[in-house]
Structure 1
């Protein structure tokens, strides 16, 4: 049960302003309303307007006949300040015309003076409720308009990115056709090279190796484009994959030569994940390091209990603290034409596999990427 001292029991009374140039009627009406409402009074129109500029009233009880500025004119000025407040007009000289004038000027109710107190109380209650609803509707409309303006601004700001995204999707779609041609001709090249095995084994071996690398690279690009096209429509299917095998395949298709990337550590590093998303991780990390100037990458796979740790350490130029921070959030590239998105893509893809991604770097000391994956359960 709520007590008188409980904050929840305190209900703020609606605020009412009584405007009348006659002291007696003004104070009598104020007293009649004071038990149920918080009441202010004003003896002149200008005093009332000053009060309305300072406070938000629920109801204004306004006499029509006043010196300096009559009630109708006062009502018109009040509406400029507060269009939502309810106004009850009072007059001791009521005619049909004055009632019409009051309503046309924006009065919510018209009563004779002196008012019947029960009728006045009921009118103030009803009009206070109306004011509350109008203010709530106005606030909701204002919020909706502000949201609309913010949304339009957001659309305008992001429109170039939206069109860029659409263009990239179309580009990925169009890439599939030439990739199919590359895969087909790589196969034909392999077929043409096989008859040379007897006449020139060395040349045949090179041609078969090169055609195999071209075919693998094209198939990898094809899978990447398919993943891109359908990423918004389906969740990648996770299977048990071997990170060592994935790193080996990526090493063969990034065209920097096998000697630059050394794989070591545990022979198997099995995790649950999407093979081609993890290929993207290794591809971005390998290319970032080699394109930044590293001549050697040491990739180490280590089993740590129920986890697999992958470290990729390079001997490149490294980064300072500010460059490292920007690189992790997609804002730094060592190339003039680079997008700086590689590491942020890696961080996102690693996160979708329930793994962690950390980067350590110092100028002149190289950079080390550290990835920790949950180990796949034994099959």
Structure 2
């Protein structure tokens, strides 16, 4: 059953229709409302489908790959690394395959507010920092063979004045939050389908700390963090493609008051190659040949990723005919599989002829048998 069927929509469904269908089904199968044995699994399945189809890039990859290939790639994963990649489908495959799907209760919480029914949502006392996205430019060769890159970006880091405490006075003690009484969380009641539920949410007054800064630092306004310039080195494996993303855990914005940092997402922008065109793991190369080469066949030299290679052009090769050189394409990320190099034959007709060439073509025309008319061929 594909993701569209799970949400009860068609491939042409709009973003609004996708969200509407998810909300309807999520309410129906939420484990705190639906007590059927399979409700929780159904709820997770619905959330997983929504997570993919609500994201334009992930939806594009899903449509390109098809459900079975997409699921196979997700289950295969990328082998124990926190830095995830995906095939050439312009999608953050780390979220999908390396890091797994997001918590379905988090998705539900974002759309409906609060922390989920009966406190099922995350109970983090302090919010972690925000994720950051940065463009990482790669040459064609760096993308194909892998490289070490240094990323430079602006982010929130620990305040250098207060060392992340948020207080201007090291000796001044923070006061206990009057709203949550130091717990960092408060209980919030809401109704759903006629029933009342208790939600546990982060305290809006202290942001989960349980304390209020008595004398805020003037540099960071009591948040414990300030905007600065950061750099980090990353290793890209062979085979990354344009538009793919890489997650670098803990390198995003640091949270307020020293809470955990978010993640850094490097979005790759790959330069075009002078000769090759890439589609997925396959490379394409336009190869010009002459009429004699096409008619009589020939052996020509073509560039490959490993250097020049002699390739045989068969007799009678046609314009736009393709010749496949197996396993000479791009290595797929975290896999031993490799694409092919496809030669696109470009038959070049001479624009000008020398006197000798003119004589030879004239002679060729004379020795060719006179072709039958089209009518004779049709009614023979």
Of Structure 1 and Structure 2, which has the larger fraction of its residues in helix?
1
Of Structure 1 and Structure 2, which has the larger fraction of its residues in strand?
2
Q: Which has the higher contact order (CA 8 A, sep 6+)?
A: 2
TM > 0.5 between the two?
A: no
Q: TM class by shorter-chain length?
A: under 0.3
TM-score (norm 2): 0.21
TM-score (norm 1): 0.21
